[in-house]
Chains A and B, each alone.
Chain A
Amino acid sequence: MIRRFEIYSLRPGAPPGRVRALETACGRCGRFIPEVLHGAVGWNVSDAPVDLVWEHAFASPDAYRRYMVHPYHAAVLDRYLLHDSPERVVVDNDLGAGLVGYDCEGPVFAMTGGVRRLVLLRLNRHASPSVVDRLVSVLANAPGEADQMVLSAVGANTLGSAWFDAVTPIAGRPRWTHLWEQGFASRDDLDAYIDGPSPVAAAERRQWRGVMEDIVERTTSVHYEIDGPRPAPG
């Protein structure tokens, strides 16, 4: 299975009707392109310079490729996203995570509600595979040591450079090499985790300095309520 995120920053002054149309287009995508699975939209409530997150998945690279050539993709989604479209409502941002995703065995990320936190990690390119595996294991097992976390899924960011067909890299190493999805029942639980005593939360607060040969070079995160309402301005 391919897990995929599109993360948008809205253009200041973008017509509200078109922004709602983009949100609706993402949320309804699975009705028109059945290959789009587990679709949900969320409004960022973190400090990251982004607004809207569209999370979804595909059963296989073949399913992803059918999505890529579906008229709904070109005629509805791209209308609001492509740089040269007169209806574009988004802008570039400094996050470097417009499109990210990873491979997984099944819908390990599935949540029907609550709060999703997507942590973007940049690992040292010279890190040994065994250390990477150890880190991935620690992250995947984080709910065992952090009671508030109800879900954790980790994977290498394969779509960052292979967005065209989900297989073939057509760009260099992505800024964010790994993705770590966390799930929480509420924002209170997320806050309790971030401020809490678990070793993994403590490592996050230290930006992973001193952990596993300093394998984590850089990290940032986005969180949102799954299919939640748009936060009020300010």
Chain B
Amino acid sequence: MPYVVDTVEVEPERLLPYLDAVRHLGVPVMTDAGAVLVSCATTSAEIGESVDVQVVWSFDDHDHWNVIRKNLVLDPRWYEFSARIAALRTGGTRRFYYPVALSPP
């Protein structure tokens, strides 16, 4: 099962609005499109640095991701979610990961 991992950088004062957007906009639209939320975690907001937010979604395979992408593109909520989080982050990356044999089932 592959994963798409978004790791974004936000200023500490924007962490809660960012997480709120993920929870109330991102999770519904991504879940309805077919993705599964695996985890959402952050670095500490109490260490005088910007905060990294890591959100991990899983999907069955790239055929499945292709359908998820189509569903997202056709869903107006995805554009609202995208605009909201874009305004709150200062940077970040998106990477796809694939499990290896030593990974627990």
Q: Are A85 and B6 in contact (CB under 8 A)?
A: yes
Q: Are B74 and A83 in contact (CB under 8 A)?
A: no
- Complex Cα spacing A70 to B63, Å: 8
Give the chain A neighbours of B93 by CB distance below 8 A: 86-87
- Complex Cα spacing A75 to B97, Å: 9
A69 at the binding interface (Cβ < 8 Å): yes
Supposing A68-B66, A74-B69 touch, asked if A86 and B92 sit within 8 A by C-beta, the answer is yes
Supposing A74-B96, A79-B94, A170-B74 touch, asked if A86 and B8 sit within 8 A by C-beta, the answer is yes
Q: Are B72 and A84 in contact (CB under 8 A)?
A: yes
Q: Are A86 and B89 in contact (CB under 8 A)?
A: yes
- Complex Cα spacing A17 to B55, Å: 24
Q: Are B92 and A83 in contact (CB under 8 A)?
A: no
- Complex Cα spacing A29 to B94, Å: 19
A189 at the binding interface (Cβ < 8 Å): no
- Complex Cα spacing A69 to B2, Å: 13
Q: How far is the CB of A76 from chain B (nearest CB, A)?
A: 9
A82 at the binding interface (Cβ < 8 Å): yes
Count of chain A residues with Cβ under 8 Å from any Cβ of B? 19
Give the chain A neighbours of B74 by CB distance below 8 A: 170-171
> How many residues of B sit at the interface, in one of the four size bands?
20 to 34
A78 at the binding interface (Cβ < 8 Å): yes
B56 at the binding interface (Cβ < 8 Å): no
Q: How far is the CB of A65 from chain B (nearest CB, A)?
A: 8
Supposing A69-B63, A74-B62 touch, asked if A164 and B70 sit within 8 A by C-beta, the answer is yes
Q: Are B95 and A75 in contact (CB under 8 A)?
A: yes
Give the chain A neighbours of B91 by CB distance below 8 A: 86
Q: Are A71 and B94 in contact (CB under 8 A)?
A: no
Among candidates A71, A86, A87, A170, residue contacting B62 with C-beta atoms closer than 8 Å: A71
Q: How far is the CB of A163 from chain B (nearest CB, A)?
A: 9
Q: How far is the CB of A166 from chain B (nearest CB, A)?
A: 12
Q: Are B62 and A70 in contact (CB under 8 A)?
A: yes
B43 at the binding interface (Cβ < 8 Å): no
Q: Are B96 and A71 in contact (CB under 8 A)?
A: yes
Q: Are A86 and B6 in contact (CB under 8 A)?
A: yes
Give the chain B neighbours of A73 by CB distance below 8 A: 62
Which of B66, B70, B83 has most chain A Cβ within 10 Å? B66
Q: Are A69 and B62 in contact (CB under 8 A)?
A: yes
Give the chain B neighbours of A83 by CB distance below 8 A: 78-79, 82-83
Among candidates A69, A87, A164, A171, residue contacting B94 with C-beta atoms closer than 8 Å: A87
Supposing A86-B93, A87-B93, A87-B94 touch, asked if A78 and B6 sit within 8 A by C-beta, the answer is no
- Complex Cα spacing A88 to B79, Å: 13
B85 at the binding interface (Cβ < 8 Å): yes
Q: How far is the CB of A85 from chain B (nearest CB, A)?
A: 5
CB closest chain-B residue, reference A80:
B94
6 A–B contacts, CB within 8 A, in A order: A69-B61, A69-B65, A74-B62, A74-B66, A79-B94, A82-B94
Which residue numbers of B lie inside 8 Å of A, CB to CB?
Answer: 4, 6-8, 26, 61-63, 65-66, 69-70, 72, 74, 78-79, 81-83, 85-86, 89, 91-96
